[in-house]
Amino acid sequence: MVKVVLSNEDKNSHLKIRDNGFKWGGEPPIETLYDKDAFLCDKYVKKESSLYLVNVFFECETGNYHTFCPISCVAWLYQKIEDSFFLVIGTKTCGYFLQNALGVMIFAEPRYAMAELEESDISAQLNDYKELKRLCLQIKQDRNPSVIVWIGTCTTEIIKMDLEGMAPRLEVEIGLPIVVARANGLDYAFTQGEDTVLAAMALASLKSKNHNQQLENHFNNNKTSKTSVSLLTEKIEDKPQPTEKSLVLFGSVPSTVATQLTLELKKEGIIVSGWLPSQRYQDLPIFNKDTLVCGINPFLSRTATTLMRRSKCTLICAPFPIGPDGTRVWIEKICAAFGTSPVINPLTGKTKLEEREFFIFQGLEEYLKLIRGKTVFFMGDNLLEISLARFLTRCGMIVYEVGIPYLDKRFQAAELALLEQTCKEMNVPMPRIVEKPDNYYQIQRIRELQPDLTITGMAHANPLEARGITTKWSVEFTFAQIHGFTNAREILELVTRPLRRNAMQNKTLLTRPE
């Protein structure tokens, strides 16, 4: 078994390999490291996180693990961005994955499609540009979206299709903005697909600002196409240029959840000036050096990097609003970034947030009863693992292992700190965090540990159940509404379902006469 011990000291030279042949098995190549100054962490977190990173060992197994392909992000993003069309440029394999993973969505005339690469495309007998133009014109005619998002796949990476080079030419020619995201499985896992799309949109926002003038010149030269591209320019003019610090949240959640989070912040007097992504592509927020940004999903590290380095925004380093505990700290961090402190209830002397957290936990008691003292094992799938582990620890569970396809220790620093703090407060050991786990070894560990619940990908659920291990699909947490105070119940509803089922069945069997 490969064990790689990581600590803060050897962060960059971290992957010291023991006994498999790989000299390198770390992160996907995020192009840059974080700009330290761009982090806005209060002292507490800085101290805690550095302490944390020294003290805690991470492992990187660099094993054979299974997650979904990152192109699956179109499943939720096309629904979120209502005027978009997602074009996945890949092979039959990609298409078959989408149709199997997204199941029946095809029947609802989804706003996504495959640009299926055929042999002639691979062998470069056809001109990519012409082919893509043909398809995009067809999409424009049939569906009339306000933006086409090209999702690059492993295949476009391997044949080195220059999507970024083609898009600017084509968007002028067809009069529709084109966003290029490389959601390929070579670099990313599952939910990171959303990260690539949001990062691309952040860049697009920046680009549209910079190229506004250029585009206008272009339109003046080609008056015929002016009307068709007018939306590109209108969008910019409509926006009030923010002068003071404004807050933009990034991460895709259903609009009801977005509203909930916006309202929670409003209670603390903080106005959310925009969301990335928003309901409509045309409402893409503007980013500049006065923009404070905060993520709501733990897998958005690339978006965070892009916003900091390219758009010069300031990132608020906070845990993620998953579970009432996470939500409270998340709001507190945002308050701190704006220089305000949370509203205090004069009657009790506690902050209203603390009271709300307490109240929510109280309401969850019927679920908590079921899971307190139980053990849980995350095999790792959707990168929500750390946040979920932290919340479940707070609920009284003991987390054995947190497998995670990729862990950006900077972006998740606050979350990791909160996890450690939670473990201390609940008096349970820190879970082992395994990056790029090896599913085979994990199964051996599950066999040894016999956890009460294993959160796993779909491929392992049935076999584990057959071996007496209670499982829950990790993918359900990707699609369920889990953010904010209100939705904590949803998480526990999912977590306890297998436990409740087993309890019911045992009861039925035990009370049966015989």
From candidates 463, 479, 480, 500, binder to another protein by CB under 8 A: 463
Is 335 annotated to bind ligand? no
DSSP assignment of 389-407 equals HHHHHHTT-EEEEEEES--
Q: For residue 503, what is the enclosing H or E element?
A: helix 488-511
Q: Which is nearer to another protein, 338 or 473 (CB)?
A: 473
CA distances in angstroms from 49 to 337, 345, 403, 410, 412, listed in the order given: 17, 30, 20, 9, 10
- Indicate the DSSP class of residue 87: E
Is 94 annotated to bind ligand? yes
Look up residue 151 and give its amino acid: I
Q: For residue 39, what is the enclosing H or E element?
A: strand 39-40
Q: CB of residue 434 vs another protein: minimum separation in angstroms?
A: 16
Give, as ranges, the residues between 236 and 275 that touch another protein (CB under 8 A).
none
Q: Which is nearer to another protein, 204 or 494 (CB)?
A: 494
From candidates 21, 240, 339, 349, binder to another protein by CB under 8 A: 21
Q: CB of residue 376 vs another protein: minimum separation in angstroms?
A: 19
Give, as ranges, the residues between 164 and 223 that touch another protein (CB under 8 A).
184-190
Beta strand extents in 18-125 (DSSP E only) = 39-40, 58-60, 84-90, 112-116
Q: What is the Cβ-side half-sphere exposure of residue 418, based on CA atoms within 13 angstroms? A: 29
Give, as ranges, the residues between 48 and 77 that touch another protein (CB under 8 A).
64-72
Segment lying near another protein (by CB under 8 A), choices 120-128, 252-260, 388-396, 487-495 = 120-128
Segment lying near another protein (by CB under 8 A), choices 16-24, 204-212, 265-273, 375-383 = 16-24
Q: CB of residue 187 vs another protein: minimum separation in angstroms?
A: 5
Look up residue 121 and give its amino acid: D
Q: Would you count residue 154 as binding another protein (CB under 8 A)?
A: yes
Q: How many residues bind another protein (CB under 8 A)?
A: 84
CA distances in angstroms from 288 to 195, 396, 446, 452, 472, listed in the order given: 20, 42, 47, 48, 42
* CB-based burial, 238-276: b 16+ in 10 Å, e otherwise: eeeebeeebbbbbbbbeeebbebbbebbeebebebbbbb
Q: Which residues contact 479 (CB under 8 A, 6 or more apart)?
A: 75, 76
From candidates 122, 263, 271, 480, binder to another protein by CB under 8 A: 122
Q: CB of residue 59 vs another protein: minimum separation in angstroms?
A: 18
Instruction: Specify whether the CB–CB gap between 142 and 148 falls below 8 A.
Output: no
Phi first, then psi, for residue 455 (nearest 5°) are -95, 115
Segment lying near another protein (by CB under 8 A), choices 342-350, 372-380, 409-417, 506-514 = 506-514
3-state class of 220 per DSSP?
Answer: helix
Residue with tokens 């889990």: 482
Q: CB of residue 122 vs another protein: minimum separation in angstroms?
A: 5
From candidates 106, 343, 426, 480, binder to another protein by CB under 8 A: 106
Give CA–CA dist 50/429, Å, rounded: 19
Q: Which is nearer to another protein, 101 or 236 (CB)?
A: 101
Segment lying near another protein (by CB under 8 A), choices 126-134, 257-265, 271-279, 315-323 = 126-134
Q: CB of residue 85 vs another protein: minimum separation in angstroms?
A: 11
Q: Would you count residue 341 as binding another protein (CB under 8 A)?
A: no
Q: Would you count residue 402 as binding another protein (CB under 8 A)?
A: no
Give CA–CA dist 105/115, Å, rounded: 17
Q: CB of residue 165 vs another protein: minimum separation in angstroms?
A: 17
Give the contact letters, 428-457, x = binds to another protein (CB under 8 A), - = no: ------------x--xx--x---------x
Q: CB of residue 463 vs another protein: minimum separation in angstroms?
A: 5
**Residues at the annotated binding site?**
69, 94, 154
**Residues at the annotated binding site for [4Fe-4S] cluster?**
69, 94, 154
